[in-house]
């Protein structure tokens, strides 16, 4: 642009005024039309990152062709003017797509900085050095046509960078997903459409197999109209495990409506446009580890253990060692688990059993599998779970028949569990039944909220409690619990939200050291606060467990003594204050 008028004067013998007028008017008109046209074209095509890169590459080539032909081939002013208009339209036309590439490839928090850096780079590496370089070339070769042809060649070279980004910069293997609204779906229900090119399928060769080249996968979203993003993607992408989807979200490789999705728990709605770039990392393994287990009973079919505080039951993303599963693999002499075929959980731990015990995946479990080691996958024999901080009895199945029997018993509520807790404050009623609906707090991973039964939100939870002993002059109590349902944090939620007596040491639900000091004054408050700090966990213990033995069909019952920290806490609280 700097030497354009001078080159035109030299090549076509124009007056300086005419050359400046031609170039000035062409630049103004093409600048406005090209910039608007590039943005409109990208919006029409779909505003995807791969399309933006393709438009930039094509625009660079077209601009180079226009400029090169105008200065190198045109023999009259009409041809020169037409080619110059074409070249400048293409050059300005890539402005909006280039900005789109920048924004689509940058996390939201860095986009202002990225735009600033790009603008500075454009001037420092483009506008500043190009005029003297073109002038030096013109002086060296003595021809404006050659000098301007070299400029066109540089513009053509820019397209190579866009093509490299398109094919080797991560766009390969990217899938576009669109959730269709009711007015867009012939079946009248929200649905998802997924397409993958042959190149994308080859990118995943050896790990998963895609369907045919022109297949479109459409699945109704009837059961959950607003699922979590990670659940939604893993249930639709046949080529990817949920752990791979979760890792892609954490890396910023998932975009919803052109914005980086920062939370896996984000809700997907009809009309959302989702892009995901999958870079499957080597799956971690869960290895056997010699972690001490307090075994209460064991035979060929079942193992009953007394879980210690601080032991996570099963692996979660980022934690594949130091769990009960690692200890069981060692104790049962089983090999390490390859998680490439297993689904990672959300990092959620629960105090009590799920109504429908899961195996290795959140997807529907297959029928009973004779190869039990494969079926049990990431949770070998585990049919119910306890929270990391909860101590007490758990039963583990050691055989396929035991697994199926225990799973059915927990589902039918014929397996019985009894818990003992220490609460801040003493419930006003000595015993009773608590019933509510429990749902997860918005934006929280595990913390729960309690709702009234009539609200219709959450899942029904029913607990029976009985005060066994008032402690610290009513500042605390030993409370027994029996559960009819097994919701996440059910005892902790009911104790805190319905009895208004949170478990001692439960920071998440108002039973921590600071809360204990506020609830009770003087020495009682100081003592409760100190005990909560020492416990550093919810004071909850699964003390009794009974079930029908899967083989003998006899009713068996087990009991575990309180752990030392709860025994000491009860002893201190029982002393006169």
Annotated domain spans of the chain: 4-168, 174-277, 285-412, 416-574
Q: Are strands 540-548 and 391-397 parallel, antiparallel or unpaired?
A: parallel
Cα 250 to chain center, whole Å? Answer: 6
Give me the half-sphere count of Cα atoms (radius 13 Å) on the Cβ side of residue 478.
16
Q: Identify the pLDDT of residue 240.
A: 67
CA angle centred on 63, ends 153 and 89, rounded to 5° = 160
Q: Identify the pLDDT of residue 173.
A: 38
Please write down the HEC assignment for all residues of 2-56: CCHHHHHHHHHCCCHHHHHHHHHHHHHHHHHHHHHHHHHHHHHHCCCHHHHHHHH
DSSP 276: E
* Phi, psi for 194 (deg, rounded to 5): -130, 135
Residue 359 has pLDDT above 60, yes or no: no
Contact (Cβ atoms closer than 8 angstroms) between residue 295 and residue 304: yes
CA angle centred on 27, ends 49 and 20, rounded to 5° = 155
Q: Identify the active-site residue in 230, 253, 387, 565.
A: 387
Q: Check residues 393 and 517 and name the one with the higher pLDDT.
A: 393
Return the CATH class of domain 174-277.
alpha beta
User: pLDDT confidence of 239, banded at 50, 70, 90?
Assistant: low
Residue 353 has pLDDT above 70, yes or no: no
User: pLDDT confidence of 568, banded at 50, 70, 90?
Assistant: very high
Q: What is the mean pLDDT of the chain?
A: 76
Q: Which residue, 154, 152, 136, 146, is CA-closest to 7?
A: 146
Q: Which residue, 24, 58, 66, is CA-closest to 41?
A: 58
Q: Identify the pLDDT of residue 340.
A: 56
Q: Give the Å distances, CA to CA, from 385 to 204, 301, 403, 487.
A: 35, 18, 14, 11
CATH homologous superfamily of 416-574 equals Pseudouridine synthase (3.30.2350.10)
Region 222-228: mean pLDDT is 57
**3-state SS, residue 318:** coil
Q: Identify the pLDDT of residue 90.
A: 86
Residues 126, 287: Cα–Cα separation, whole Å: 55
Residue 395 has pLDDT above 80, yes or no: yes
Q: Check residues 504 and 354 and name the one with the higher pLDDT.
A: 504
Q: Identify the pLDDT of residue 538.
A: 96
Task: Give every CB contact of residue 410 below 8 A, 6+ residues apart in sequence.
Answer: 353, 357, 383, 384, 486
CA angle centred on 561, ends 560 and 563, rounded to 5° = 115
Q: Give the Å distances, CA to CA, from 149 to 72, 73, 128, 152, 453.
A: 6, 10, 19, 5, 77
- Return the CA Rg of the chain: 34
Q: Give the Å distances, CA to CA, from 148 to 10, 31, 126.
A: 12, 20, 15
User: pLDDT confidence of 453, banded at 50, 70, 90?
Assistant: low
Question: What percentage of the chain carries pLDDT values higher than 70?
Answer: 75
User: pLDDT confidence of 575, banded at 50, 70, 90?
Assistant: low
| The two three-digit tokens of residue 281, written as one number | 């990392």
DSSP 547: E
Q: Identify the pLDDT of residue 346.
A: 35
Q: Is 387 a catalytic residue?
A: yes
Q: What is the model's pTM?
A: 0.53
Residues 419, 354: Cα–Cα separation, whole Å: 16
User: pLDDT confidence of 211, banded at 50, 70, 90?
Assistant: very low
Contact (Cβ atoms closer than 8 angstroms) between residue 385 and residue 350: yes
Residue 360 has pLDDT above 70, yes or no: no
Residue 577 has pLDDT above 60, yes or no: no
Element (H or E) spanning 115, and its range?
helix 111-122
Q: Identify the pLDDT of residue 430.
A: 95
CATH code for the part of the protein at 4-168? 1.20.1250.20
Region 111-131: mean pLDDT is 79
| The two three-digit tokens of residue 346, written as one number | 């959300």
Neighbour tally for 16: CB within 10 Å: 11
Residue 138 has pLDDT above 80, yes or no: no
């Amino acid at each position: 642009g700097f030497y354009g008028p001078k080159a035109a004067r030299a090549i076509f013998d124009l007056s300086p005024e005419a050359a400046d007028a031609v170039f000035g008017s062409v630049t103004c008109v093409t600048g406005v039309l090209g910039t608007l046209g590039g943005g409109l074209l990208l919006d029409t095509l779909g505003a995807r990152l791969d399309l933006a890169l393709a438009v930039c590459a094509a625009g660079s080539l077209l601009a180079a062709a226009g400029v090169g032909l105008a200065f190198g081939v045109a023999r009259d002013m009409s041809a020169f003017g037409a080619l110059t208009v074409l070249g400048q339209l293409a050059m300005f036309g890539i402005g909006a797509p280039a900005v789109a590439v920048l924004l689509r490839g940058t996390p939201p928090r860095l986009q202002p900085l990225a735009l600033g850096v790009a603008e500075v780079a454009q001037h420092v590496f483009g506008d500043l050095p190009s005029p003297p370089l073109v002038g030096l070339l013109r002086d060296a070769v003595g021809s404006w046509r050659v000098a301007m042809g070299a400029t066109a060649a540089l513009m053509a070279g820019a397209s190579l960078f866009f093509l490299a980004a398109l094919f080797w910069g991560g766009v390969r293997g990217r899938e576009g997903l669109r959730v269709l609204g009711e007015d867009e779906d012939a079946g009248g229900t929200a649905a998802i459409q997924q397409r993958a090119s042959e190149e994308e399928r080859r990118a995943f060769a050896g790990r998963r197999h895609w369907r045919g080249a022109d297949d479109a996968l459409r699945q109704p979203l009837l059961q959950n109209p607003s699922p979590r993003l990670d659940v939604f993607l893993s249930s639709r992408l046949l080529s990817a495990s949920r752990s791979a989807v979760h890792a892609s979200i954490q890396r910023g490789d998932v975009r919803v409506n052109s914005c980086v999705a920062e939370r896996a728990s984000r809700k997907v709605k009809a009309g959302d446009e989702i892009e995901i770039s999958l870079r499957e990392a080597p799956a971690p393994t869960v290895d056997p580890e010699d972690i001490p287990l307090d075994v209460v009973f064991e035979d060929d079919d079942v193992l009953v253990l007394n879980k210690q505080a601080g032991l996570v039951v099963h692996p979660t993303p980022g934690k594949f060692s130091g769990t009960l599963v690692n200890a069981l693999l060692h104790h049962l002499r089983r090999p390490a688990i390859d998680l490439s075929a297993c689904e990672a959980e959300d990092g959620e731990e629960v105090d009590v059993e799920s109504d429908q015990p899961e195996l290795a995946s959140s997807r529907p479990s297959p029928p009973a599998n004779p190869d039990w080691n494969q079926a049990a996958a990431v949770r070998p024999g585990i049919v119910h779970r306890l929270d990391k901080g909860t101590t007490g009895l758990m039963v583990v199945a050691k055989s396929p028949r035991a697994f199926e029997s225990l799973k059915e018993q927990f589902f039918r509520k014929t397996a019985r569990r009894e818990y003992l807790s220490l609460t801040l404050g003493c419930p006003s009623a000595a015993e009773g039944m608590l019933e509510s609906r429990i749902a997860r707090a918005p934006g929280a991973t595990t913390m729960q909220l309690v709702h009234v039964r009539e609200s219709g939100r959450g899942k029904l939870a029913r607990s029976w409690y009985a005060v066994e002993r008032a402690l610290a002059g009513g500042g605390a109590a030993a409370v027994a619990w029996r559960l009819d349902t097994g919701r996440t944090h059910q005892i902790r939620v009911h104790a805190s939200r319905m009895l208004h007596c949170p478990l001692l040491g439960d920071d998440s639900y108002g039973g921590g050291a600071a809360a204990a000091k506020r609830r009770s004054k003087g020495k009682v408050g100081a003592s409760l606060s100190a005990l909560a700090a020492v416990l550093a966990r919810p004071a909850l213990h699964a003390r009794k467990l009974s079930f029908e033995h899967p083989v003998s069909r006899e009713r068996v019952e087990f009991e575990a003594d309180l752990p030392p920290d709860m025994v000491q806490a009860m002893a201190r609280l029982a002393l006169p204050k």
